[in-house]
Amino acid sequence: MIIQLDMQSEVPIYIQLMNQIIEGIAASRLKPGEALPSVRHLAADIGVNLHTVNKAYTLLKQEGYIQIHRQKGVVVQPDGLPGLTPEFMAKQLEQLRPIIAESILRGMNLSGLLSQVQKLYEQISPSPPQSGKEPTP
């Protein structure tokens, strides 16, 4: 997996790194049980401080995306993530609220916003939804 960071972005590097790993898992570019580089190795490869990578890995572990083993190193969660939990849904709403508010302020209507979400979903999803079914929220 190729990590591309924008060092000029206002988004902290550890967040960019987390987001790219999560997207890699969602898009099936990173498979369950697949090894990820060590903190030191990844930090050296992408040219960032090892504490930045360590912070990203720690948060990914806390959220259940990865496992960190002393012998095996860092691996994508082999058991997959739990389904849609009330905690996840609450977190998602909290994160979407300012994005939706800014979209409204800039004149975007609901269909435009939904179109943007659909485009991103189709770009990231490894395969189209089965027979028109969408996962239950």
Which tens digits make up the pLDDT trace of 44-91?
A: 999 999 999 999 999 999 999 999 998 889 999 999 888 899 999 999
Find the domain containing 51 and state its range: 13-76
Kindly state whether residue 137 falls inside one of the protein's structural domains: no
| pLDDT average, residue stretch 106-135 | 84
Q: Are 111 and 124 in contact (CB under 8 A)?
A: no
Kindly state whether residue 64 falls inside one of the protein's structural domains: yes
Overall number of domains in the chain: 2
Could you tell me the end-to-end alpha-carbon distance of the chain, in angstroms, rounded to an integer?
Answer: 29
Q: Which pair of structure tokens corresponds to residue 12? A: 């902290």
Kindly state whether residue 71 falls inside one of the protein's structural domains: yes
Kindly state whether residue 21 falls inside one of the protein's structural domains: yes
Are both 34 and 64 inside the same structural domain? yes
Are both 92 and 37 inside the same structural domain? no
> From the CB of residue 54, how many other CB atoms can be counted at a distance below 10 Å?
16
CATH number, domain with residue 36: 1.10.10.10
Are both 53 and 103 inside the same structural domain? no
Task: Lay out the sheet containing 66-69: strands in order across.
Answer: 35-36, 73-76, 66-69
Kindly state whether residue 93 falls inside one of the protein's structural domains: yes
> What is the model's pTM?
0.84
Are both 26 and 65 inside the same structural domain? yes
pLDDT of residue 97: 97
Are both 55 and 110 inside the same structural domain? no
